[in-house]
Amino acid sequence: MAITAQEVNKLRQMTGAGMMDCKKALTEAEGDFEKAIDILRKKGQKVSASRADRETKEGTIVTHVSEDGSVGKLLSLTCETDFVSKNDEFVAFANILLDLAVANNANSAEEVNALPFENITVAEKIVEMTGKIGEKIEVSHFEVVKGEAVVPYIHSNGKLGVLVALVNVNGASVEDAGKDVAMQIAAMNPVAVDKDGVDSTVVEREIEVGKDQARQEGKPEEMLEKIALGKLNKFYKENTLLSQAFVKDSSKTIAQYLDSVSKGMTVAAFKRISIG
């Protein structure tokens, strides 16, 4: 019988096994998922299959910035326990995967999993590691940012990482400023660079919440829209990076701080990954 790509991917998500192994198992099992899982288990996939529903709330985050400083990449390799996350072999494996992703110009976790690793794929190697270590392991995030200058930041526990891309640097030394902004992102978790980057569904939700709050406060119906927009502006100020008060000097916004370092300098993009 014909096995669809969706069915193959479903079995891969259930077991962590490689795409080709999943396709062969489903074909052999004539589309029966339980039989396909048994087939995979007989081929050494037992641990991965049995742990497929486990949560990976521990792990490590690693970063790479290109030699010219214009491209940054952030990878999180997650596992089940803090004990494994601190294992030298696990951390080394995360760095090997990052190097492989950089060398092959990967742009997503899916692309990283599909990369060749020795004579198999990364996804298949992760299944091997799962069997060896005894815990579910996965590349949970892989992010890329680009700009004139990209600055990375990893929080001391290795479970929170940030990349911030700066533009209009005008030849200035921006390492310290970039780290300041990256630490701001780590601490304050903004939803976007500025209000233009906020998803429209978020904006609509904030407006509706603002209207409901004003209505419950007894405000006139004709004033609700205006009040809600005022609350939306407060939301932008508190939740978009460039409008946030700089944690090291609350008299300035992040936009003002960057402009004081180099006239016109700003943030083009950022990525923040947190484990747990």
* 73, pLDDT greater than 70: yes
Rounded Cα gap, residues 149 and 168, in angstroms: 9
Helices marked H in 16-116: 19-28, 33-40, 46-50, 82-85, 88-103, 109-114
Phi, psi values for residue 159, rounded to 5°: -110, 10
What is the model's pTM?
A: 0.77
Phi, psi values for residue 215, rounded to 5°: -65, -40
193-215 per-position pLDDT tens digit: 999 999 999 999 999 999 989 99
Which are the contacts of 56, defined by CB distance < 8 A and separation ≥ 6?
A: 78, 79, 80, 136, 137, 138, 140
* 46, pLDDT greater than 70: no
Q: Burial of 220 by CB count in 10 Å (0-12 exposed, 13-18 middle, 19+ buried)?
A: exposed
What's the mean pLDDT in 92-114?
97
Catalogue all structural domains in the chain, each as residue range(s) with its CATH number: 5-50 (1.10.8.10), 54-146 (3.30.479.20)
122-175 per-position pLDDT tens digit: 998 998 888 778 788 999 999 999 999 999 999 978 999 999 999 999 888 899
54-71 per-position pLDDT tens digit: 788 999 999 999 999 999
- Residue 209 C-alpha from the chain's centroid: 28
- Residue 19 burial (CB count, 10 A): 17
